[in-house]
Chain A
């Protein structure tokens, strides 16, 4: 396709055709105060590529990168070591530039990759079936809630107070338009989950119960009793996993009876990359597969009996069912799913278990050291690689003071729950295999100084 810019005559002819005299006439609906009347202040009209690169590099240097020093941030996005081969392999043109395969069967490589990804996610989550990915964990969580509505034909969802507040917020936004009722609340700084209370609260009106595992404060609990309570009432149990590495060490939600398991796959293969793009994981029991959103690859044989891959059950999707589709998600996070899949393949089952064990032991070491800081205690009685510290002061300013000392010391609950003063002294600390003993010592020393 050649690029041919328009002439003034071309523009005049087009404006005449639509009945406008100037291009500005096309923007009359924009209120005057919202219109730009001149150049943007502080931005030159043009600059050379070299000057732009220098300027941007200088801006980037003002950031503090995750790898610049001790780093303990988590709360739904985790810094793990991604093997160099992951980035190398996903840059093959066949993967990097492929869009969603609308003529799927000719893209056997893409389909096989997605099939392997689905297999890994289903095995990790302990479910029968997984789809070829969603946008991210929060949208996957919302899709699970509406899927439960389709299955149960009920509209009230009980949300555990341990669900990430950003996930709750996405669900709230969407529920506004679908008229689902969400029963939700903030957590308390206590070691126990609210799962027993949720089990008691499930009724014949409940479409689903949504729990996070491990939850936003790092707490871990057994969901078997809750799954039974849901089943008895005809409601579905949805488990949300934001740190899939945890499942290398703790029992999968599927094994404990969760009907739908969703999550964020960023921790494996995908870097932190400014909060996105990430990759949503979505899996469920096979009996619900027709109500599942998203793409699904299946393995079959061709006319000659050779193994081949297809997109299957596509009639659930909007390119076929239009407005009656299970979801308006037709796309998937293919490249991030590939990165996840390659990282998982490189680890293998034994490697994932080992990685999880390292994460947990580093977290234990950090919790022990940090609890020695005067006035600081660990809230959790169980955790994987993330736990909540109780500080003797508001955590938010402490986090900023730590950053001044070169330590990124966790996510304050004041940031996650700005309207809840009761949580202000809580600090969520994530400790992965990327954290060294020196990092832990530096964090403990800096925290002691800041709190002194």
Chain B
């Protein structure tokens, strides 16, 4: 399944009509110990670049933006009980939410894994 990356250090994995969104390993490393994740409710309309979720670590509170337009189909309730999943398995079990894709063309503006690695290396 294709995986895309944003400059805000989020990943998007597309499976058919549904995209799964989370933060990257680089992002969790920067944040430090994550103590709380607020995921969006099912049915919420998201706009590319708009607020989608909140992640709080012992160091900071950060907003997570929607990488593309769409509607939330599911938030990861496992993060409520165990926010540290976002540290231990950010690009797997620690996903934040799933959403529909209103416009698949928006994915073209995102990076692939190789592009994202180069982007991080340059930071």
Interface positions, chain A 117-132, Cβ under 8 Å from B, are: none
Question: Contact mask A272-303 → B, CB, 8 Å, 1/0?
Answer: 00000000000000000010000000000000
- A315 near B56 with CB under 8 A, answer yes
Complex CA distance for A320 and B56, rounded to whole angstroms: 11
A324 at the interface (CB under 8 A from B): yes
Q: Does A11 contact B (CB under 8 A)?
A: no
A290 to B38, CA, bound (A): 10
* Complex CA distance for A290 and B36, rounded to whole angstroms: 10
User: What are the interface flags for A312-346 relative to B under an 8 Å C-beta threshold, 1 for contact and 0 otherwise?
Assistant: 00010000110010000000000000000000000
Check: B60 CB closer than 8 A to any chain A CB.
yes
Which residues in A have their C-beta under 8 angstroms from that of B56? 315
Chain B minimum-CB-distance residue to A314: B61
Tell me, rounded to whole Å, the shortest Cβ–Cβ distance linking A147 to chain B.
15
Inter-chain contact A320/B63, CB cutoff 8 Å = no
From B36, B60, B63, contact of A324 by CB (8 A): B63
Contacts of B54 in A (CB 8 A): 324
Are A321 and B36 within 8 A (Cβ)? no
A328 to B36, CA, bound (A): 21
Q: In whole angstroms, how far apart are the Cα atoms of A290 and B61 in the complex?
A: 13
With the chains together, A324 CA to B53 CA distance in Å?
Answer: 12
Chain A nearest CB, measured from B20 CB (Å):
24
The answer for the CA separation of A88 and B2 in the assembled complex, in Å, is 70
Separation of A324 and B60 alpha carbons in the complex (Å)? 13
A324 to B56, CA, bound (A): 13
- Least CB distance from A129 to B in Å reads 16
Instruction: Give Cα A315 to B83, complex, Å.
Output: 15
Residue-wise interface mask of A (22-50) relative to B, using a CB-CB cutoff of 8 A (1 in contact, 0 not): 00000000000000000000000000000
User: How far, in Å, is B33 (CB) from chain A's closest CB?
Assistant: 13
Residue of A at shortest CB range from B44? Answer: A153
- Inter-chain contact A320/B36, CB cutoff 8 Å: no
- Shortest CB–CB separation between residue B8 and chain A, in angstroms? 16
- How distant is B45 from chain A, measured CB to nearest CB, in Å? 13
Query: In the complex, which residues 102-123 of chain B have their Cβ closer than 8 Å to any Cβ of chain A?
Result: none
Chain B positions 47 through 61: 1 when the CB is less than 8 Å from some CB of chain A, otherwise 0: 000000010100011
12 contacts between A and B (CB under 8 A): A290-B36, A290-B38, A315-B36, A315-B56, A315-B60, A315-B61, A320-B60, A320-B61, A321-B61, A324-B54, A324-B61, A324-B63
Point out residues on A near B: beta carbons under 8 Å: 290, 315, 320-321, 324
Chain B residues within 8 Å of A, Cβ to Cβ: 36, 38, 54, 56, 60-61, 63
In the complex, the 5 A-B pairs of residues with the closest C-beta atoms, listed nearest first = A315-B61, A315-B56, A321-B61, A320-B61, A324-B63
List 8 additional contacts besides A290-B38, A321-B61, A324-B61; criterion CB under 8 Å.
A290-B36, A315-B36, A315-B60, A315-B61, A320-B60, A320-B61, A324-B54, A324-B63
